[in-house]
Amino acid sequence: VLLGIFFNVHSAVLIEDVPFSEEDFNDGPDRIYRLYEQVSYNCFIAAGLYALLGGFSLCQTRLNKRKEYMVR
């Protein structure tokens, strides 16, 4: 989530992680800003998927720890 926020505020430190070409610099900063925002949306989607899969894993762990499912 933090990476998504930092990409959304167009952090200059993260320019190496933005997929750009030399032609993108000719159009002014708007094209680079759009690329930053695209990468930030990808970070937010990945964070959401991590949270979803973590919640599913937690549910599965609790379900498997139930007494009636334990193998002796």
Residue 66, SS3 per DSSP: coil
Residue 50, pLDDT score: 97
pLDDT at 47: 96
pLDDT average per 10 residues of sequence, the chain (72 residues): 90 86 83 89 96 96 76 61
Q: What pLDDT does 67 receive?
A: 67
d(CA 15, CA 20): 9
Nearest to 17 by CA among 56, 52, 55, 46: 46
Outline where 1-72 has alpha helix (H).
2-8, 29-64
